[in-house]
Structures are given as C-alpha cells and as structure tokens.
Structure 1
C-alpha cells in the first residue's frame, strides 16, 4: 500500500495513525502465503540458471580504500565475504562472537596469501548479537577510533530449524533479535562512522524466506498465543521485519548523510544451517547439490551490493520515486521485488517504531545522529 506522506520524516504520520485507518492484519492471506511458497520453490529450482551469467568467484572493483565490517564471518557466506574483500585490498573487520576462531582464520588466510602481495588488512572484534549490550559496546569501540566505515555487512543470522522457541537474555525471541533487532541497533549506532565514510552502505543479508514471513507488531516475540510458534515462523518473520525496517530507514536518511541501505538475497545456500535439520531432511538437502549454492556462490549478491559503484544512485532513485521498499538485490545480482507484505508501508512504520522501542533508542535517533548529536541507548551501560 502506498501513502503520499511516507517520503519525509517530518510529515510522516505516526504508525498508530496509519494502523488506525485499517483493520489490523493478523496473518498472511492464503493467496499471499501460496505465492510466497511458489516463489521460494521457483528460486531453489532455478537460481543456478538465473545466476549462470555470474562468474565464481565474483570479480570485484577496486576496494583498496574501503573499510568493511562483516558480522558472522567465521563460517558460511560471511567467511567468503570477509576473505574475498580482504584479498581484494579492503580493510576488513570480522565482527564475531568467537574471537579465537576468527583469529585462527586470519592466520590461515595470511599464510595462504603470503607472497601474493601486501599482508591482508584484516582484524577481528568481538560482537555477540544475542546481547544488545555487546552490540552497543562494539559500536562505541568502533566509533571511538574516529575513522571511516564505508560498508557495514549485517550477515550474521540464525535459523534454528525444528528447535523450540528460545529467548535471548534481553528477553527477545532469538531469531528476531539476531536477524533483525541487533543488526538494526548496530546499523544506527554506527552512523557516526558511516557518515565519516560517506558515501557508505548498510548491506543486510536477507532471505527468500521473507516471502512467507509475517510480522505481528503487537506480538513480535510470538508469545500471545494468537499464533503457534515454529522456527520457520520465527526466521521468516525476522527477515521480513528486517526489510520493513530497512525501507523506513532508507526513507529517513537524508541524501546529505551519504548512507544507503540495501537488502540482498544470497539464494538458497548450503551452510551450517544444515546441521540443525532433521536427519531425513539433511539427507534430502545433500541429494540436491546442483540446485543449492555453495557459500562462495551465495556471497556474490552481497559482494556486488557492497562494491558496485552504481548502487547509491539506484537507492536514491527508488527514494525519489517514493518506492515503498528499500533496494532489494536478488541472488543473481539484479534488482528484485520483495514480497507483497514487504510493500505494506503502514506496518513498516509500525515495525520501525516498535524496533526502536525494543532496542532502547528514541524515535528521532536517526535524525539526531545525522545532525551530529549524541543518542543514548538503554543498553550497553553495564558490563556483563
């Protein structure tokens, strides 16, 4: 749904006003749900054909002047993203929970790279997305360097297939916190560094599974009993929430900030998520390697979005056209259209307001940070 008032943060209606104009939606319609699953199946069957024009690994433009933070970069897609950016000359920061694993990887990559040129400019910093205190401390530590940040890649995510509902120590459903709330908080708190690195980008690694996702903004923890929790619901809903939040963030960022927001789909990729699958599903998962990308193939859309010189122009074009969603790049490195529910600008504003409340930021946090003011978050003040 489109509204004529969504393009400006000063004239935008509040989420409550928008929601009051229509009956609150409590789930996807069956036609939306069916279309979503058809898209997911189509993506799995044909993603390799659709991306057949891409080289593997993806050639990157010059990135020697870029500083990039990559979350969740010790395995899967994130590991490939960090390695390829570093080997192409970027300064890469691996933002990870397991510092030991990251430093062992760095040592291994340095040894493999020895003799090919200058040592890789790569380091590791601790970040645990299951702790919003950790997110705040990471952002404060990075901003204190007073250096530029050109690309933030929110790659880390979880999909605990078949697992019972779990909550972080902050009290939030784990999929929602790791896949949406923590990256949203990290992105906003790093604005001072992203502005210093302008033109800069926030790249959110999303998923085709958002097409079957739904976000109940009055029950983001799925505890009310109105819906029966499943891990698929938790994962797909968190990915949809990320797109909705990113869409409003892109609208609220003034052009002079130089920051653009992009969501990307890596495709359906064989990563560590398979270890959480039931045994019988794992067997089927590994019987169809032709259809499923390996992590290097899955990294291409993110690397493209992080380095393509035309991406900022494309983001600004969408904003100028008052397009209701942020830029979304598919696994074939081409622009794609997110789900019908992602276009629901009314609930996107509600997700925006609810997210800022949950992560402890004021509603005007973006505007204040862009203007150079300080913003206090209710997390991060105390040590664990």
Structure 2
C-alpha cells in the first residue's frame, strides 16, 4: 500500500516532469527568438546609422582600405577616399560607381589626395572635406607603410618616415577632424592597427602596419569594421585563432614566442636575400 506522502512525492515528480517537458522547448525557442530580434534590430540600427554618413577612409587604394570602401559604399555612406595615388583612387571610385547596390541609395565617392607625412597637406585636406560636407561622421585611420629589417640595419630616416606616416599623420588628421565632431557631439574615429601593436616581433622594430589583420581576408575585416562602427564598440581584436593565441603566448611564454618569431623572420630574410 502506497502512503499519502509517497503519492504526494510521486505527484510532484510528475508535475515537474510535465512542466519541464512542455515548458523548456517554448522557453528555449522564446530565448532564441528574442536574441534573433535583438540582432535584427541591431543590424537595422547599424544600417540606418551608416546610411548617408560621411566616412573618411585613408589608405583607400588597396588592401583593407579598399575593402572598407566597398562595404561602406554598399551601406549607403558618403565616402571620402584618401590616398597618395589619385589614379588609383579614381579607379576605385569608378569601380564603386559601377557596382550594383539596390538595397540603399549610394553616393558618388569624393576623392582627396594627400600624404599623411605632410602636416600642411593634412590641414588643407581637412579644410576641403569640411567645406564640401560640413561634417564627418566616421574617420577610419587605415593608411600606413611597412618596413622589415634588423634594427641595426634600420636607419633613423626609415624610423622617422614610418612614424610620420603611421602615427603622427593619423594623430594630426584626427586632431583636425575632432573639433567638428565635438561641435556636433557626434562621430566615430576608427584606428586600425596590427596585432603587432600588442606584441613585438623580431626584425619588425620600425613596423606599425595598419593594413592587415594577420591572416584574415581584407573583405572579412572590412565587414567587421563596418559592424564595429555600427555597434559602437571601443576596442576589438580582429584576428583568427592563431594570431589571437600569439598574444597570450607572448605573455605566458615569451621565450618560446620570440624563438618562433625570430626563426620565421630569419627564414624570410634568408629567402629575400637569396
């Protein structure tokens, strides 16, 4: 004979089984639905923000800058393509104009040619852009130059040139654009750098590359940049698993890290000299 306490306990178990079996799936689907709705609203907000936004891209003639131009153009932004090679910029502008974008209204890219190592040219370029558009929504500091060589063989002139183009130039451009953003209390500044800004690598003492993302396709990184601007994130590492692990390896096992990087650099140097 089953006691009342046992029957009560069995009833509780059955009730819990029923609730679990009937409620867990709706709850799960509900959570998935809410998350999907959140992502959709976030995507719509990003597209709305970038539509008709004035976006400056330095180093737009190749690599990541070129891919950023493509994705921001497709998002409906008003592009300002910057670089030293006007012919390459005009070619990119024609390519963008010829691309078929049906989702949003696109705008003819505006071209500004200047050298980031020339402070006077930066001031003149900024004045031209602000006179044309009146404001800037997004500044993407992408331009940069690269150099590979042993530190003992790297002249100070090379160091100065790299720093002028990769650091002081973007800083000067940012300072020139910033007052207009502060006045409007609105704007985004994107500083694209290499993973080598967080870890040092042998034979790259003068290197501050801003055009690659360690093994990822430029188009993939460009889409990530678009998403970062839309979601208003502050600091993001855009890299595949291996380069990301390199950051932790540099911290946890610096000896092993430098040994691997030095070996790789010596092989590349030997191949280059042969």
Q: TM-score, normalised by structure 1?
A: 0.45
Write out aligned runs for 1:300-315 (5 A).
300-308=223-231, 310-311=232-233
Q: Is residue 222 of structure 2 the alignment partner of residue 299 of structure 1?
A: yes
Alignment match, 1:88: 75
Alignment match, 1:328: 235
Write out aligned runs for 1:21-100 (5 A).
61-62=47-48, 63-100=50-87
Note the residue ranges of structure 1 that are not aligned, 5 or more in a row: 1-57, 215-229, 240-264, 269-291, 312-326, 341-384
Distance (Å, rounded) in 2 between the aligned partners of 1:66 and 1:146: 10
Q: Is residue 164 of structure 2 the alignment partner of residue 174 of structure 1?
A: no
In structure 2, relative to structure 1, the CA distance for the partners of 1:115 and 1:296 (3 Å cut) is closer
Contact kept? 2:74, 2:104, Cα under 8 Å: no
Distance (Å, rounded) in 1 between the aligned partners of 2:180 and 2:121: 18
Q: Secondary structure at the match of 1:69?
A: strand
Q: Is residue 192 of structure 2 the alignment partner of residue 211 of structure 1?
A: no
Which residue among 141, 155, 163 is the counterpart of 1:165? 155
Shift of 1:332: 6.2
Distance (Å, rounded) in 2 between the aligned partners of 1:167 and 1:110: 40
In structure 2, relative to structure 1, the CA distance for the partners of 1:86 and 1:198 (3 Å cut) is farther
Higher relative contact order (CA 8 A, sep 6+): 1
Distance (Å, rounded) in 2 between the aligned partners of 1:167 and 1:77: 26
Aligned residue pairs: how many?
196
Distance (Å, rounded) in 1 between the aligned partners of 2:133 and 2:107: 22
Cα RMSD for the two superposed structures: 3.3
Distance (Å, rounded) in 2 between the aligned partners of 1:191 and 1:107: 30
Q: Secondary structure at the match of 2:157?
A: coil
In structure 2, relative to structure 1, the CA distance for the partners of 1:139 and 1:166 (3 Å cut) is farther
Write out aligned runs for 1:1-384 (5 A).
61-62=47-48, 63-113=50-100, 118-145=105-132, 147-162=134-149, 164-165=154-155, 167=157, 173-213=160-200, 232-236=204-208, 267-268=213-214, 292-308=215-231, 310-311=232-233, 327-331=234-238
Shift of 1:95: 1.2
Alignment match, 1:278: none
Larger radius of gyration: 2
Alignment match, 1:245: none
> Can you list the C-alpha shifts for 1:320-341, whole angstroms capped at 9, x where unaligned?
xxxxxxx4211169xx9xx89x
Contact kept? 1:154, 1:183, Cα under 8 Å: yes
Alignment match, 1:285: none
Distance (Å, rounded) in 1 between the aligned partners of 2:101 and 2:74: 11
Contact kept? 2:74, 2:106, Cα under 8 Å: no
Shift of 1:80: 0.6
Q: TM-score, normalised by structure 2?
A: 0.62
Distance (Å, rounded) in 2 between the aligned partners of 1:194 and 1:95: 19
